A and B are shown apart, each in its own frame.
Chain A
Amino acid sequence: MSERSPAGPALTLVLGPEQLLADRAVMARIAQARHADPAVEVHELDAATVAPGEVTAQCGPSLFATSVLVVVRGVAEAADEVSSELSRLATEVVDLDGVALVLVHRGGNRGRRLLEAVRGAGAQEVSCAELKYDSDKVRFVESEFRQAHRRASPEAVRALVDAVGSDLRELASACAQLICDTTGVVGADVVERYHSGRVEATGFKVSDAALEGRAGEALALLRHALATGVDPVPINASLGAGLRALAKVAGAGRGSPEQVARELGMAPFQVRKARAQAAGWTPHGVARAIEVVAWADAQIKGAGADPRYALERAVVTVAAARSGA
C-alpha cells in the first residue's frame, strides 16, 4: 500500500458489487488513516438516508481531531441533491486540509454521472468486481493463503472452491478457518476433512448431469441442491433452459460456435456445451424431455402435492430420454 500522503489518498472510490471486497477495502483505508494519525475521526454515512448538506458538514474541520476520514456507502442510491453534493465534494476534497473521502458504489448504471465526476477528480479506485468464474475464485483462495504466508496445494484450492464457492464470504471464512486450525501446506485431504461430501449443487449442475444421461449423479446432485435450500423452480428452469439450448443448437447446422451463437443469441461457450450434450439425443427424446419438464413445472407450482417427487421424476425421465427410452 503506497503512503503518498500521511493519511493516504484524499479521494478513494470503492467500486463493484462484491460486498466482502468492498468492506475489506474500506477497512484497509481506515486502518491506513489510523496508522498515519491514531486520533483520526472516522465518519461512516449511508448515502440513501443522509440529508443534503450532511456529508459536507462532516467534511468540515473538527474541534477534536486534526484529520477526518468520511466514508459514504451506497452512493448509487443517493438522491439527486446528495449526488450532486458528492460530485462537488469530490473535486474539492483534494484542497481540504486533513480531510479524506471514501465513496462506496456498488457498480451498475445508477449514479453514473457521480461516478464520472469522481473519476475525473482523480480518485484512487479500488475494484470489487464480482467473482463469477471458478478461475477467479481459485485465484482469490490462493491470494488468501498467500497473504497469511501459507501454501495450499492446487487440488486443495479446487476442492475448497467446489465445496463453498457459491458465496465469497463463506469462502473467505473457510480459508480463515483452515489457516487458523492447520499447520504446514494445506492439502486436499485437509479440505476433505473439513468440508467432506459437501458439493455446491446448483440447478445447472443437476441439469448438465441429466442432459448428459448420468441419471444417478443427477439425482444425487438434485437431493444435495434441495437439501441445501435451492428452490425447486430454478432447478426445473435450468433443465428447461438446457433442453432449449440443446434443441436449438442441434437444429442450427455446422457453423463455428461463434457464428451459431450469434444466430441464436447465445454465448459461444453455451453453444459448445450444448453441442457436446446434444450427442446421443434423438428428436423424440428431446420432445419427451421437454414435455416432462413442463409437466414438472406445473407440479412444482401447485398442481401436484410434492415438488421434490416431480423434480426427481423429471430428472430421471430426462436422463432416460437421452438414450431414446
Chain B
Amino acid sequence: MSVFSALVGQTHAVATLSAAAADAAAVLVGGPAGSMTHAWLLTGPPGSGRSIAARAFAAALQCPSGGCGTCPSCRTTLAGTHPDLEVLRTEALSIGVAEVRELVLGAARRPSRGRWQVVLVEDADRLTEPAANAALKAIEEPGERTVWLLCAPAPEDLLPTVRSRCRHVLLHTPPLADVAAHLVEHDGVDQAMAAFAARAAQGHIGRARRLALDEQARLRRSDVLRVPFAVARVSDAVMAAGALVESAGEEATAASAELDAAESAALGRALGEGSTGRGLPASARAALKDLERAQKTRATRLRRDALDRALTDLAALYRDVLAVQFGAEVTLTAEELRPQVRRLAEASTPESTLARIEAVLSARAAIEANVAPLLAVEALAVRLWDPASRSDDSAVTAPGALTSR
C-alpha cells in the first residue's frame, strides 16, 4: 500500500509527486534531478488534502522503497516525528517571522538519515509578509539535500517572490463519489450517510468525516441552514445573526476548553505548581501567562473557523437555490431540504440569490479582515432579509477588496 493511497481523487497530483519521488531516489545515487526540485507548492481547496499530500510526498522521499507506507521511515514521516522532517503549522491566525527564522536554521542542516531534509510549512498562506521574506532566501537556494514543501489554498495566498521559486502542484476538489467511498472504506460509515456527508461538505474530506461521525456537527449544520427561512423581519435577522455567532462560539469553546485544561495542568505540573515553598517564581508565572495567551489566539482562530464553516454551508444553500432557479439538473448540497429550497427559489429571483451569495462571501472576507464577527454576520443577515438594501458602502467589503485573496 503506497503512502499516496490516503489521497482521495487526486490521480494527477499523485502521478506528479510519485514521479518526482522516483527521480529523487535516483539523485541520491548520483543520477540526474529529472522532475525533482527543491521547492514545492501544493495548493487546492480546503479539505482536498494538501497537507496529507505533502506528508505523503515527504514519506516517499524518506522511504528507501519510494513510499511503501509500512517502513519506519514512512511511519515516522507521516506521524511528523522523522528526524529529517521539520513541520511548521499554526493554531493561531498567522505565522510570525521569529518562527520562520528558526525553521530556516533547521533547513540548513544535512539530513541525518542520508536522504532528504524536508521542511514542510502546512499553513503557508498564514505566513506574514516579513515571515515569508525571511524564508525567501532559504527557499530559493536551499542546501543540496533540502526540500521545501509549502501548502496553501491558492498560489495567490503567497508572495509572488515565494510563489515563483516553487514548482506548483494543484489538487482538485475530489469527486463526491470518491469522498463517499473513502468514508465507507476508512471510517465504516454506511452508504447513505457517506453520500449525504460528501454532498453536504462539497468535497471537503475532513468536514465530510466530521458530518458523518458527529451528530452535533449535523445538528449545527441544520441550524445554520434554517437561517434563510428565519429572516422575515429585520429584528429576526438580527436575532438569527446572534444565534449563529453564539453557536459557532459554543462549538469553538467546547473544542478549546478541553485542550486548554490539559495543557495548563501539564505545564503547571512541570513548573512545580502545588509544591510547597515561596509559590511560583515570576518566570514560571510568565510561562503560564504565555501559554494562556497562545490558548487565547487559538480560541479566536477556532471561533473564526467555526463561523467560517457555518457561512460556507449558508453559501452552499444559496447555490442550491440558484441551481433550482436556473432549472439545472444537479444534486443539491442540501438534497434533504429540496422542498424548502424550491420554495425559497420560487419566492426570489436569481439576481437576489446572487446578491445573497455575494453577501455571504463578503461577510467571510469582513471577518477575515477582523470585523467584529457579530457585526459582520448582522450585516449579512439584513442583506439576506433584503438583498436590494445593499448600500454603496458595502461594496468596499466585497471579497477581494479587503485582502489580496
Residues of A within 8 A of B (CB): 51-52, 79-82, 237, 240, 244, 247-248, 250-252, 283-284, 286-288, 290-295, 297-299, 301-304, 313, 317
Find the A residue at minimum CB distance from B236: A251
The A interface, classified by DSSP as helix, strand, loop or mixed, is: helix
Find the B residue at minimum CB distance from A289: B382
Partner pick for B393 among A248, A252, A295, CB 8 A cutoff? A295
Q: Check B376–A283 contact: CB distance below 8 A.
A: no
Chain B's interface size range is 35 or more
> Known: A52-B278, A247-B235, A283-B234. Is A303-B379 also a contact (CB below 8 A)?
no
Q: Check A298–B234 contact: CB distance below 8 A.
A: no
Separation of A284 and B235 alpha carbons in the complex (Å): 11
Taking CB atoms, residues of chain B closer than 8 Å to A52 are: 277-279
Separation of A316 and B379 alpha carbons in the complex (Å): 18
Minimum C-beta distance from B274 to chain A (A) = 9
> Known: A52-B279, A244-B378, A287-B389. Is A295-B394 also a contact (CB below 8 A)?
yes
Q: Check B379–A294 contact: CB distance below 8 A.
A: yes
Taking CB atoms, residues of chain B closer than 8 Å to A295 are: 379, 391, 393-394, 396-397
Q: Which residues of B in the span 355-400 have a Cβ within 8 Å of any Cβ on A?
A: 366, 369-372, 374-376, 378-379, 382-383, 385-386, 389-391, 393-394, 396-397
Separation of A291 and B390 alpha carbons in the complex (Å): 8
What are 22 contact pairs spanning A and B, CB under 8 A?
Answer: A52-B279, A79-B279, A244-B238, A244-B378, A247-B234, A251-B233, A251-B236, A252-B235, A283-B234, A287-B234, A287-B382, A290-B378, A291-B382, A291-B393, A294-B371, A294-B375, A298-B402, A301-B369, A301-B370, A301-B371, A302-B369, A303-B397
Q: Check B372–A286 contact: CB distance below 8 A.
A: no
> Known: A244-B378, A287-B386. Is A292-B393 also a contact (CB below 8 A)?
yes
Q: Check B379–A291 contact: CB distance below 8 A.
A: yes
Q: Which residues of B in the span 320-361 have a Cβ within 8 Å of any Cβ on A?
A: none
Separation of A299 and B375 alpha carbons in the complex (Å): 13
Find the A residue at minimum CB distance from B233: A251
Q: Check B397–A292 contact: CB distance below 8 A.
A: no
Minimum C-beta distance from A72 to chain B (A) = 15
| B239 at the A interface (CB under 8 A) | yes
- 7 pairs of A and B residues whose beta carbons are closest in the complex: A251-B235, A79-B279, A294-B379, A287-B382, A247-B238, A295-B393, A283-B234
Q: Check B378–A302 contact: CB distance below 8 A.
A: no
Taking CB atoms, residues of chain B closer than 8 Å to A251 are: 233-236, 238-239
| B181 at the A interface (CB under 8 A) | no
Taking CB atoms, residues of chain B closer than 8 Å to A79 are: 278-280
> Known: A244-B378, A284-B386, A295-B396. Is A237-B401 also a contact (CB below 8 A)?
no
Q: Check A303–B402 contact: CB distance below 8 A.
A: yes
Taking CB atoms, residues of chain B closer than 8 Å to A298 are: 366, 369-371, 396-397, 402
Q: Which residues of B in the span 197-238 have a Cβ within 8 Å of any Cβ on A?
A: 233-238
Q: Check A248–B235 contact: CB distance below 8 A.
A: yes
Separation of A244 and B237 alpha carbons in the complex (Å): 10
Separation of A82 and B279 alpha carbons in the complex (Å): 9
Q: Check A297–B371 contact: CB distance below 8 A.
A: yes
Minimum C-beta distance from A254 to chain B (A) = 13
Minimum C-beta distance from A285 to chain B (A) = 9
Taking CB atoms, residues of chain A closer than 8 Å to B369 are: 298, 301-303
Taking CB atoms, residues of chain B closer than 8 Å to A301 are: 369-371
Separation of A294 and B393 alpha carbons in the complex (Å): 10
